Structure 1
Amino acid sequence: MLLHLNIQNFAIVRSLDIDWRQGMTTITGETGAGKSIAIDALGLCLGERAVTNVVRPNCKKAELAATFDIADNPLAQQWLDKNDISYDDDCILRRVISSEGRSKAYINGSQVPLAQLKDVGRLLINIHGQHDHQLIIKSSEQRQLLDAYADHQHLLDNVKHQYQQWKSLTYEYQQLQENQIQREAQQQLLQYQVNELDEFSLNESEFEQLESDYKRHSNSQYLLETTLATLQTLSENEQFNALDSVRSAHDQISKLAHVDTKLAELANQLESTLIQLEDTNNELQGYYQQLELDPQAYQMIEERYSLAIQLAKKHQVLPEQLHQHHAQLKHQLSLISSDESRLASILADIDNAENQYRDAANSLTQSRIKAAQTLNNKITTSMKELNMEHGQFEVNINPLESGKLSAQGMDEVNFFISLNPGQELAAMNKVASGGELSRISLAMQVILADKVITPTLIFDEVDVGISGPTAAMVGSKLQQLATNTQVICVTHLPQVASKGHQQLFVAKLTDGEHTETNVTELSEQGRVQEIARLLAGDSITEHSLANAQELLAS
């Protein structure tokens, strides 16, 4: 509930602190005194758009802060937790607006985007303006009111989920159809490319081997000649070769080692060198013997190697990437093939999703019909209590045109009323005046009171256009509503003002140069005086005072 409102330099308010109580609070005052100024300030705390003229003249900024008790408001607590905003039992919404029109928003001292004020505000308070009752003539608003009364959110959620499933599949089908021609052209190209690479059939890492074989065969003559010359140097030259020279050196140093043991290590080193040279010579001889000039093998390798390079150039990839590119093309082709298969099967999925949606929507329709039957009786009774003696109310539920599917179900909901004997039921906007719409809207609020999730409701002069016994009944309805939620009502009617558990009086003060608005909580005697003023105007009489006391006593 709303606990406190602080206003600084806002419009014609210099400084104002208002403490709010549980139950019903009424706000009264003279015309033009600014009775709605607290509501306007609250609206800005809840994220409404600010304009430059909200700042008091000659001031740099306006500051507004609303404090709410959220100890019994789990939805608000969950929202604060989700948005990492710390809290205890209170939630403070603060707005600072500069004279240039710039503004900053805060929740519990943390600066936040303006949208977050709106989000959390919806969980704390609901403001009904003078013209908000006109929303009740809209079919969408009427459907929402019926759904709120039926209290079948689980059915609404299921319908929305099934609708989204059906919508998603329908969109997928449309995309598949729209892309079919393009997909067919792409499939032909991919199929040609895959067939070409299938025919070449390059294995993984084969190009690297091809490249190695190609280099070896293209340089085979040079390899033969150089290998042979190296073998001559190592062992086969009879006049001088490396092996004989090292062997001779080893033998000589070995003999000297018998004379001087210091040469033994050198002899060992020469022996190791000799062994390595012999091994190298043997391996080189084996390599030379395996080398052979095979023109036919070379031609096959050259052709495949050249073709691999040509295909890589054609497909705009490196030759060593050709095998991977081939696999990617196959994958793309398989995806297109799966799209074609999907196109053939998705219609069955769409039919199944539509059937599930219609089952969910039919359950929602039945729940609406059941709720409408009891709502008809309750609102008809309330209309009679609110001085619409011959009033009748009926919820009309019809299928949407052409069986259209929507996220809210397949129903068009309309409120029909009759206000006079013999008058046929007709749409509300065709037969009800503004005052009658206001009363029907109020009746709905009272009936829905136990469904209301926002702990504070504000009514800003929603009682315009009514008087007398009707006004008294409106006051009683608002008081009844206040048993379940905090109600704040700006009013000019004594019958409504007297029903409040708390009454605030708004006055406009001026010294000829400056004007400001002041709000005070009235004492019991102050309430008698104010109710009498509302009854009789400025000329308060003993009779009006007695009437005021009677209203307050009742």
Structure 2
Amino acid sequence: MLTELHIRHFAIVKSLDIEFRNGMTAITGETGAGKSIALDALSLCLGSRADASLVRPGCDKAEITACFAVAKDSPAARWLAEQDLDAEDECVLRRIINKDGRSKAWINGSPVPLAQQKSLAPLLVNIHGQHEHQLLTRDEHQLHLLDQFARHNHLLEATKAHYRQWADTEKQYRQQQQAKADREAQRQLLEYQVGELDEFALAEGEFEQLEADHKRLSNHRSLDEASLFALNALYEGEHNNANGLVQSAGQRLQESVDMDPQLGSINELLKQAMVHIEEAALELRHYQDQMHIDSAELETIEQRMTQALKLAKKHQCSAAELYPLHQQLKSELQTLIATDEASEQLAEQRQTLRQAYREQAKKLFDSRQRAANQLSDKITSAMQQLNMPHGRFEISVDHDNQAPATAKGTDQVQFLVSANPGQPLQPISKVASGGELSRISLAIQVMSATQQTVPTMMFDEVDVGVSGPTAAVVGSMLRELGGQCQIICVTHLPQVAAKAHQQLQVAKHTDGKETQTDVRALNNDERVVELARLLGGDKVTDLTKANAKELLAS
């Protein structure tokens, strides 16, 4: 609950410190005194928009601090703990607005983005404004009020989650379907290309080997002559072959080693040379034995090379690049096949998620229907208490399983009202009387509030258009609501103010140079005077005081 509100240099407030208690608190004061100043200031601490005009003229900044008592197991306490802003059983919100319009926010002494204050606000305070009835004609607000009364956040969150899953899958599916025609054409082309290359089946490095074999076979005669000449020159020639000459040189040097040992190492080199010559001759002889021309092999090689070159030209690449291209095309085809398979799976998943969403939306509808019946009865009863004895209220919830999906389900909610006997139920937007609409709005706000878990509720002149015995009923309703949570009510009606557990008076003072607004708590005698003023205007008489005492006593 709200315990303290400290305001500095805000609008016409110079300095203001207000203490709040549990139960129902009424805020009263003359017209124009600034009865809503506390609510306006608190709204800033709850993340509402600020501008430079809110800073008191002549001041550099406005500062507002709001202190709340927070129960340990409350949603607000859990939120603070999750955000690492916990301060045991207290929550302090602070907001500063500079004269240039910039502002800063704090929670429990830690600077925070304004968005965090906005996130915390609904867990601490619920503010009902005097223009609330204007929102009642909007479909989305009617749906919000019903969901708020039903307190089925788990169903709302589950419906939203199912919707997001289905919507994301639906988006992916549509994107795949849009690309399906292009993908099919690409798949057909790839299947043809890969099939052609599969049939040719060029191995890795094969074309390079074909080129080498073709070069060897095409130059058979030249290679044969060169290898035969080398063999004769090294070993098999009848005169002066290299092996014979080296052997002769070695024999001569061997005879001279005794005369000069230095020739020994040279002779060893010649022996090694003879070994190498013999090995080379052996290889050449083996090469000669293997040398034969196979015209069929050459023809086969030439045919395969020709086909490879044709395919390479067709694919606009070199013949050596055919193998990696083949692998790339096969990979692309497999990817397309996998995409098509995934598309089929996505289609099945899409239907599954659609069904899951529809089932979840039906659960939400069932809960809304139950809540609608309960809230309709409560509001009808409240309307009849508020001087509309024949008033009837009904919440229509239409569920269409084929309706377009939304994150909030597929239901159409409509508030229907009949204010007079014989008058059929009709949409609340068609209620002619502004006074009736105000009373209906008040009944809806009070009855829907009974289901809320917010510790503090504020009503800003929601009793506009109400008077007499009806006003006393409004006061009783708010006081009863004050038994469940803290109620702070700005009112101009003495019948409402008299029902409060405590009363604050707002007064405006001026010395001719500047204006100042003050708020103070009233004791019982002061409440009598203030209620008498509300009853009879500025002139307080014994009669109005007697009436005020009677109101308080009741």
TM-score of the aligned structures, taking structure 2 as reference length:
0.81
Contact 1:194 1:329 in 2 (8 A): no
Residues 1:192 and 1:323: Cα distance change in structure 2 (over 3 Å): closer
Q: Offset of 1:463 from its aligned partner? A: 1.1
State the distance in 2 between where 1:97 and 1:159 align: 39
Residues 100 and 241 of structure 1: CA distance in aligned 2, closer, same or farther (over 3 Å): farther
Matched ranges for 1:143-542 at <5 A = 143-161=143-161, 163-164=163-164, 167=167, 171=171, 174-203=174-203, 206=204, 208-211=205-208, 214-215=211-212, 218=215, 240=242, 288=287, 295-296=298-299, 299=302, 302-303=305-306, 306=309, 310=313, 313-314=316-317, 321-335=324-338, 337-338=340-341, 342=344, 346=347, 356-399=356-399, 405-431=405-431, 433-542=433-542
Structure 2 letter corresponding to 1:499: K
Distance 1:236 1:97, change over 3 A: farther
Is residue 16 from structure 1 mapped to residue 16 from structure 2 by the alignment?
Answer: yes
Contact 2:6 2:64 in 1 (8 A): yes
Q: Does the 8 Å contact 1:446/1:480 carry over to 2?
A: no
Checking the alignment, whether the CA contact within 8 Å between 2:379 and 2:444 is kept in structure 1 is yes
Any conservation in 2 of the 1:312–1:318 contact (CA below 8 Å)? no
219-228 vs 134-143, which moves further: 219-228
The answer to whether the 8 A contact 2:365-2:399 is kept is no
SS of aligned partner of 1:484: coil
SS of the counterpart of 2:136?
A: helix
Deviates further, 352-361 or 492-501: 352-361
Deviations 1:489-528 (A, max 9, x none): 1111122222223322222222211222222222333323
2:134 corresponds to: 134
The residue that corresponds to 1:92 in the other structure is 92
Q: Unpaired runs of 5+ in structure 1?
A: none
Instruction: Report deviation, 1:219.
Output: 6.8
Structure 2 residue matching 1:122: 3-state secondary structure: helix
Larger deviation, residues 103-112 vs 511-520: 103-112
Deviates more, 1:49-58 or 1:219-228: 219-228
Classify the secondary structure of the residue corresponding to 2:393.
strand
The alignment partner of 1:28 has SS state of strand
One-letter amino acid of the structure 2 residue matched with residue 330 of structure 1: L
DSSP-derived class of the 1:380 partner: helix
**Which SS does the other structure have where 2:130 is aligned?**
coil
| Residue deviations 1:192-248 (CA, integer Å, cap 9, x gap) | 333343333344xx0x35435635754786998998899899988966569969x96
What CA distance in whole angstroms lies between the structure 2 residues aligned with 1:95 and 1:32? 25
Q: CA deviation at 1:372?
A: 3.2
Determine helix, strand or coil for the equivalent of 1:16: strand
Q: Which amino acid aligns with 2:139?
A: S
Secondary structure of 2:438's aligned partner: helix
Q: Give me the whole-angstrom Cα distance separating, in 2, the residues matched to 1:53 and 1:317.
A: 78
Deviation at 1:278, TM superposition (A): 9.0
Q: Which has the larger radius of gyration?
A: 2
1:18-167 equivalent positions in 2, closer than 5 A: 18-72=18-72, 74-85=74-85, 87-161=87-161, 163-164=163-164, 167=167
Q: C-alpha separation between the residues in 1 aligned to 2:270 and 2:71?
A: 95
How far has the Cα of 1:164 moved from its partner? 4.9
Say if 1:239 and 1:280 are closer, same or farther in 2 by CA, change over 3 A: closer
Give the Cα separation in 2 of the matches to 1:2 and 1:540.
33
Question: Does the CA contact (< 8 Å) of 1:45 and 1:66 recur in 2?
Answer: yes
Preserved contact between residue 456 and residue 485 of structure 2 (Cα < 8 Å): yes
> CA–CA distance in 2 between the matches of 1:376 and 1:130?
22
Q: CA deviation at 1:459?
A: 0.9
CA distance in 2 between counterparts of 1:275 and 1:103 reads: 100
- Give me the whole-angstrom Cα distance separating, in 1, the residues matched to 2:120 and 2:285: 87
> For 1:503, what is the secondary structure of its paired residue?
strand
Alpha-carbon offset, residue 405 of structure 1: 4.8
Using the alignment, how far apart are the partners of 1:501 and 1:280 within structure 2?
A: 120
**1:378 offset after TM fit, Å?**
2.1
Amino acid at match of 1:327: K
Give the 3-state SS of the residue equivalent to 1:79 in structure 2. Answer: helix
> Are the aligned partners of 1:435 and 1:463 in contact in 2 as well (CA < 8 Å)?
no
Q: State the 1:12 CA deviation.
A: 1.4
Change (3 A) 1:62 1:308: farther
Shift of 1:39: 1.1
Alpha-carbon distance between aligned partners in 1 of 2:95 and 2:308, rounded to the nearest angstrom:
75
SS at match of 2:532: helix
Following superposition, the deviation at residue 410 of structure 1 comes to 4.1
- Distance in 2, Cα, partners of 1:16 & 1:141: 35
Range with bigger deviation, 426-435 or 230-239: 230-239
Task: Say if 1:302 and 1:518 are closer, same or farther in 2 by CA, change over 3 A.
Answer: same
Q: How many residues align?
A: 543
Distance 1:305 1:191, change over 3 A: closer
Q: 1:285 to 1:87 in 2, by over 3 A?
A: farther
What letter is aligned with 1:133? H
Deviates more, 1:365-374 or 1:47-56: 365-374
Amino acid of the residue matched to residue 552 of structure 1? Answer: L
Once the two structures are overlaid, the 10-residue window that deviates more, 364-373 or 377-386, is 364-373
Q: Deviations for 1:154-204, whole angstroms, at most 9, x for unmatched residues?
A: 44455545555555565555445543443343334333333343333344x
Residues 1:389 and 1:335: Cα distance change in structure 2 (over 3 Å) = same
C-alpha displacement of 1:47:
1.9
Equivalent position SS for 2:124: coil
- What secondary structure is seen at the aligned counterpart in 2 of 1:123? helix
Query: Is the CA contact (8 Å cut-off) linking 2:417 and 2:428 kept in structure 1?
Result: yes
Q: Which moved more, 1:541-550 or 1:481-490?
A: 541-550
Residue 312 of structure 2 contacts residue 319 of structure 2 at CA under 8 Å; is this kept in 1?
no
User: 1: distance between equivalents of 2:245 and 2:25?
Assistant: 117
| Cα distance change of structure 1 residues 244 and 103 upon mapping to structure 2, 3 Å threshold | farther
Could you tell me how far 1:357 is from its partner in structure 2?
Answer: 4.7
CA gap 1:440/1:88 in 2 versus in 1, 3 angstroms: same
Conserved? CA contact 1:214–1:305, under 8 Å: no
Contact 2:202 2:323 survives alignment (8 Å):
no
